[in-house]
């Protein structure tokens, strides 16, 4: 079971990374096929794993950022659920409160880590931290817009329904 779970997780992660590679290339105006996207995704994984030596422990280099990114993923999940609740006209308070807390704490942690990585002159983690921070702020902004749009669309639909009834 453990091997099956690990293999499935690796397969899913590599496929998702391939999709990201293909979409990023498409945004840049480059057409990347399935095979080329998979090769690029696999090369990035191998560079990460073996970048610090042949023992495969290269991924441990980015371990200090794992906690923050994990919490940001939880916040993203809460943001998606909040948008769904808002669009359905349900109370999103139970997801918005933890969402705001997770975002504030995660962004605060990223800022604290920026100072630490700068002090240590760890340019790799500093650069990755900046990218993660920008992405977190961008996704937060987009989530806010989606929630606002969902609320406005719901209000418009209810207004139209009232006009039809009245």
Q: Is the pTM of this model over 0.85?
A: no
Q: Give percent of the chain with pLDDT exceeding 70.
A: 89
Longest dimension (CA), the chain: 73
Domain positions in the chain: 1-50, 56-166
Q: pLDDT tens digits for 106-136?
A: 999 999 999 999 999 988 889 999 999 998 8
Determine the pLDDT at residue 56: 65
Determine the pLDDT at residue 18: 92
Determine the pLDDT at residue 162: 65
Q: pLDDT tens digits for 58-85?
A: 677 788 888 888 898 899 899 999 989 9
Q: Which of 25-29, 121-125, 134-138, 157-161 has the least mean pLDDT?
A: 157-161
| pLDDT over 80 at 48, yes or no | no
Determine the pLDDT at residue 159: 65
State the Cα–Cα distance between residues 161 and 166, nearest whole angstrom: 9
Provide DSSP, 39-101: HHHHHHHHHHHHTT-TTS-GGGGGGGGHHHHHHHHHHHHHHHHHHHHHHTT---HHHHHHHHH
Instruction: Residue 145: count other Cβ atoms within 10 Å of its Cβ.
Output: 11
Determine the pLDDT at residue 158: 64
């Amino acid at each position: 079971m453990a091997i099956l779970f690990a293999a499935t997780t690796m397969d899913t992660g590599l496929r998702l990374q391939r999709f990201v590679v293909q979409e990023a290339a498409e945004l840049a105006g480059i057409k990347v096929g399935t095979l080329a996207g998979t090769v690029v995704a696999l090369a990035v994984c191998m560079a990460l794993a073996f970048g610090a030596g042949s023992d495969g422990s290269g991924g441990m280099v980015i371990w200090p950022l794992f906690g923050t990114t994990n919490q940001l993923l939880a916040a993203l999940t809460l943001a998606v659920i909040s948008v769904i609740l808002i669009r359905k006209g349900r109370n999103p308070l139970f997801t918005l409160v933890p969402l705001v807390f997770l975002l504030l704490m995660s962004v605060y942690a990223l800022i604290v880590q920026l100072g630490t990585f700068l002090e240590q002159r760890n340019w790799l983690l500093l650069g990755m931290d900046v990218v993660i921070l920008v992405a977190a702020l961008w996704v937060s902004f987009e989530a806010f817009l989606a929630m606002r749009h969902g609320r406005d669309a719901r209000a418009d639909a209810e207004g139209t329904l009232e006009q039809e009834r009245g």
